């Protein structure tokens, strides 16, 4: 999960891109980057850290031009500690191209070998996004006529990317002196929307990971980019779109609606907020089969993502809803923090209980999901220390039992609390009196209810069904082995020895 934005405007885009990244900060807190285009020249600044920390006034002044792309990184493939893997990435052959990517390629090792042996291209980092950039660059070289581009050549190149790349990818790229290209993988796993605004000088276009970026920046949401579709906006403002995949299918990631996306976003015609209300309704009905509402004194959400589900759950059960935890908003989202030690340390810094809401009460805590269980165990303990008589925990999502290989950091079964455990064993592990999980069918029904036109979802972390068809037990064993080889410090020390050829002049 990362956040990406691309803008083609009639005036400088640096502030628009910065503001857009702020809105999408929840999609990645590890690194941020902006590249703008001024004629044939790119201006780049990127570094590790939050958006507000990466960009200073001097950086913003250097980001000149009316076209640009931007990225916030949440580390999946590669290293969380290496500034060399902050995006966007850049190549200068056959055209100057910069690219930002949300997702994860499942055949990046094979592609690296092809790039080196056949395409004669060198990949400098461990990032699969740099692999994707080089594949796109090679396909553009193959499809262009004497290094001259047109819409047909660009769409042919994207079709080549779809033929070669496997996994999840929503991509925004710029070609120097030409325009902005955006495309989505043939399954539409990772989200991407497109919007426009009319100015006195003409139409301006934006592509972004979530519609909330359009809302806050004054762009009108046009539609979602379809699975396999490519969008081309020339720097003059000419707009083109074309389906570039042979057999596209709609399988958006269902975890976007559970946790990843902001509640005020609409993704693939589905209101994220609405789906979370429906999740609360169905979860309430499941809890009613086991617990009487009289056994619960209060429903308390674990902020922030679970609030809509918890509120609707409480309403359906007829139980009092209360805010029992105060969140420190200056601590990042623990699920997307690199490293287990950092996640453990940050939980108590992030949440503090309000004692009167817990003392001598049977408390039903509601969370969006339970992944590793680290956070849940500490929160249950905090509730007990605040005086709760009984602590139940409900998850708006089903048990996470399988690795996700499409851009979410849950790759090893050993790290997943639900793997190999029953609900009673999970409750015992985290210290709760009982644990209640959403059923997968109910979750799918909740999301489908918000848009009946979308009936299939990528839900591999719940059911182990990898829709791209190339994820084998050997592949899963390989990524688990790679993750378990050494600790985060070891990985960082290796990765930071790599050269960063993408530094801006201000950084170097």
Residues 229 and 90 in one domain: yes
Residues 136 and 272 in one domain: no
Residues 79 and 183 in one domain: yes
What is the pLDDT, as a whole number, of residue 329? 74
Distance between CA atoms of 179 and 173, rounded to whole angstroms?
9
What is the pLDDT, as a whole number, of residue 120? 78
What is the pLDDT, as a whole number, of residue 343? 52
Phi, psi dihedral angles at 103 (to 5 degrees): 135, -160
Which of the 8 DSSP states describes residue 226?
Answer: P
CATH number, domain containing residue 53:
3.60.20.10
What is the pLDDT, as a whole number, of residue 344? 54
The mean-pLDDT minimum among 10-19, 31-40, 495-504 falls in 495-504
Residue 353: partners with Cβ closer than 8 Å, 6 or more residues away: 324, 325, 326, 382, 383, 385, 386
What is the pLDDT, as a whole number, of residue 503? 38
Distance between CA atoms of 423 and 434, rounded to whole angstroms?
8
The mean pLDDT of 475-500, rounded to a whole number, is 54
Evaluate whether 155 touches 244 at the Cβ level (below 8 Å): yes
What is the pLDDT, as a whole number, of residue 185? 98
Phi, psi dihedral angles at 136 (to 5 degrees): -60, -45
Where does a domain end: 219, 249, 279? 249
Evaluate whether 457 touches 253 at the Cβ level (below 8 Å): yes
What is the pLDDT, as a whole number, of residue 121? 85
Identify whether 499 is part of a domain.
Answer: no
Whole domain around residue 7: which residue ranges? Answer: 3-249
What is the pLDDT, as a whole number, of residue 507? 37
Annotated binding site for Mg(2+): 305, 367-368
Residues 185 and 304 in one domain: no
Identify whether 255 is part of a domain.
Answer: no
Where does a domain end: 200, 218, 249? 249
Residues 243 and 301 in one domain: no
Evaluate whether 154 touches 140 at the Cβ level (below 8 Å): yes
Residues 167 and 69 in one domain: yes
The mean pLDDT of 336-362, rounded to a whole number, is 76
Residues 282 and 219 in one domain: no
Residue 431: partners with Cβ closer than 8 Å, 6 or more residues away: 377, 380, 381, 384, 391
Distance between CA atoms of 27 and 265, rounded to whole angstroms?
13
Phi, psi dihedral angles at 242 (to 5 degrees): -160, 140
Identify whether 308 is part of a domain.
Answer: yes
pLDDT digits 0-9 by tens, 70-104: 999 986 554 555 677 899 999 998 899 999 999 99
User: What SS3 state is found at 44?
Assistant: strand
Q: Which of 2, 244, 253, 461 is catalytic?
A: 2
User: Residue 280, exposed/middle/buried by CB under 10 A (0-12, 13-18, 19+)?
Assistant: buried
Write down the pTM of the prediction: 0.89
Distance between CA atoms of 233 and 202, rounded to whole angstroms?
13
Residues 369 and 401 in one domain: yes
Residues 47 and 131 in one domain: yes
Residues 300 and 164 in one domain: no
Query: Between the CA of residue 226 and those of 93, 128, 179, 183, what are the distances in Å?
Result: 29, 22, 20, 8
pLDDT digits 0-9 by tens, 200-236: 999 999 999 999 999 999 999 999 999 999 999 999 9
493: part of which helix (H) or strand (E)? Answer: helix 488-495
pLDDT digits 0-9 by tens, 127-142: 899 999 999 999 999 9
Report the number of distinct structural domains present in the chain: 2
Instruction: List, in sequence order, every residue forming a beta bridge with 366; answer none if it has no partner.
Output: 301, 394
pLDDT of 502 over the 50 cut: no
What is the pLDDT, as a whole number, of residue 501? 35
Q: How confident is the model at residue 118 (pLDDT cuts 50, 70, 90)?
A: confident
Q: ∠ at Cα 398 (396, 400), nearest 5°?
A: 120
What is the pLDDT, as a whole number, of residue 496? 32
CATH number, domain containing residue 309:
3.40.50.2020
Distance between CA atoms of 177 and 280, rounded to whole angstroms?
50
Instruction: Tokens for 199, please give them.
Output: 């100015």
pLDDT of 495 over the 60 cut: no
Identify whether 490 is part of a domain.
Answer: no
Which of the 8 DSSP states describes residue 142?
Answer: H
Identify whether 500 is part of a domain.
Answer: no
Identify whether 462 is part of a domain.
Answer: yes
Residues 277 and 236 in one domain: no
Distance between CA atoms of 257 and 426, rounded to whole angstroms?
24
Identify whether 337 is part of a domain.
Answer: no
Active-site annotation holds for 2: yes
User: Residue 497, exposed/middle/buried by CB under 10 A (0-12, 13-18, 19+)?
Assistant: exposed
pLDDT digits 0-9 by tens, 369-401: 999 888 899 999 999 999 999 999 999 999 999
pLDDT digits 0-9 by tens, 358-371: 999 999 999 999 99
Distance between CA atoms of 90 and 42, rounded to whole angstroms?
9
pLDDT of 332 over the 60 cut: no
Q: How confident is the model at residue 500 (pLDDT cuts 50, 70, 90)?
A: very low
Average per-residue pLDDT in the chain? 90
User: What SS3 state is found at 282?
Assistant: helix
Residues 214 and 297 in one domain: no
pLDDT digits 0-9 by tens, 162-209: 999 999 999 999 999 999 999 999 999 999 999 999 999 999 999 999
CA-closest candidate to residue 256, choices 478, 411, 86, 450: 450
Identify whether 108 is part of a domain.
Answer: yes
User: What SS3 state is found at 405?
Assistant: coil
CA-closest candidate to residue 79, choices 492, 489, 407, 485: 492
The mean pLDDT of 409-415, rounded to a whole number, is 75
């Amino acid at each position: 999960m990362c956040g990406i934005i691309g803008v083609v405007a009639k005036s400088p885009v640096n502030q628009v891109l910065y503001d857009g990244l702020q809105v999408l900060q929840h999609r990645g807190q590890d690194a941020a980057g902006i590249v703008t285009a001024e004629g044939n020249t790119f201006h780049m600044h990127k570094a590790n850290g939050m958006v507000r920390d990466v960009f200073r006034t001097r950086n913003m002044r250097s980001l000149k031009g009316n076209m640009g792309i931007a990225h916030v990184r949440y580390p999946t493939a590669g290293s969380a500690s290496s500034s060399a893997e902050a995006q966007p990435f850049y190549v200068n052959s056959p055209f100057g191209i910069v690219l930002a990517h949300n997702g994860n390629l499942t055949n990046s090792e094979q592609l690296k070998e092809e790039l080196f042996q056949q395409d004669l291209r060198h990949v400098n980092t461990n990032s699969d996004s740099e692999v994707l950039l080089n594949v796109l660059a090679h396909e553009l070289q193959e499809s262009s006529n004497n290094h001259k581009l047109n819409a047909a050549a660009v769409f042919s190149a994207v079709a080549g990317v779809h033929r070669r790349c496997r996994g999840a990818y929503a991509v925004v790229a710029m070609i120097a002196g030409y325009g902005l290209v955006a495309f989505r993988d043939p399954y539409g796993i990772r989200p991407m929307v497109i919007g426009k605004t009319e100015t006195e000088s003409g139409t301006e276009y934006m592509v972004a990971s979530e519609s909330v970026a359009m809302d806050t920046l004054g762009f009108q949401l046009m539609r979602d980019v379809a699975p396999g579709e490519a969008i081309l906006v020339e720097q003059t403002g000419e707009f083109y779109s074309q389906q570039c995949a042979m057999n596209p299918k709609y399988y958006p990631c269902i975890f976007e609606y559970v946790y990843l996306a902001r509640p005020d976003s609409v993704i693939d015609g589905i209101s994220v907020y609405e789906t979370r209300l429906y999740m609360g309704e169905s979860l309430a009905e499941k809890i009613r089969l086991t617990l009487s509402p009289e056994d619960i004194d209060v429903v308390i959400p674990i902020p922030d993502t679970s609030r809509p589900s918890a509120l609707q759950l409480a309403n359906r059960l007829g139980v009092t809803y209360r805010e029992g935890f105060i969140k420190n908003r200056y601590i990042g989202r623990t699920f997307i923090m690199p490293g287990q030690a950092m996640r453990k340390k940050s939980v108590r810094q992030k949440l503090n209980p309000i004692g009167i809401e817990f003392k001598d009460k049977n408390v039903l805590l509601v969370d969006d999901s339970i992944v590793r269980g680290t956070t849940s165990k500490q929160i249950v303990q905090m509730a007990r220390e605040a005086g709760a008589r009984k602590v139940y925990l409900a998850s708006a999502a089903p048990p996470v039992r399988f690795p996700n290989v499409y851009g979410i950091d849950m790759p090893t079964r050993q790290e997943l609390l639900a793997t190999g455990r029953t609900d009673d064993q999970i409750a015992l592990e985290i210290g709760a009196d009982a644990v209640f999980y959403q059923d997968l069918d109910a979750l799918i029904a909740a999301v489908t209810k918000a848009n009946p036109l979308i009936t299939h979802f990528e839900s591999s972390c719940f059911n182990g069904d990898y829709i791209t068809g190339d994820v084998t037990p050997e592949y899963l064993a390989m990524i688990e082995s790679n993750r378990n080889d050494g600790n985060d410090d070891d990985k960082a020390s290796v990765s930071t020895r790599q050269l960063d050829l993408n530094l801006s002049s201000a950084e170097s």
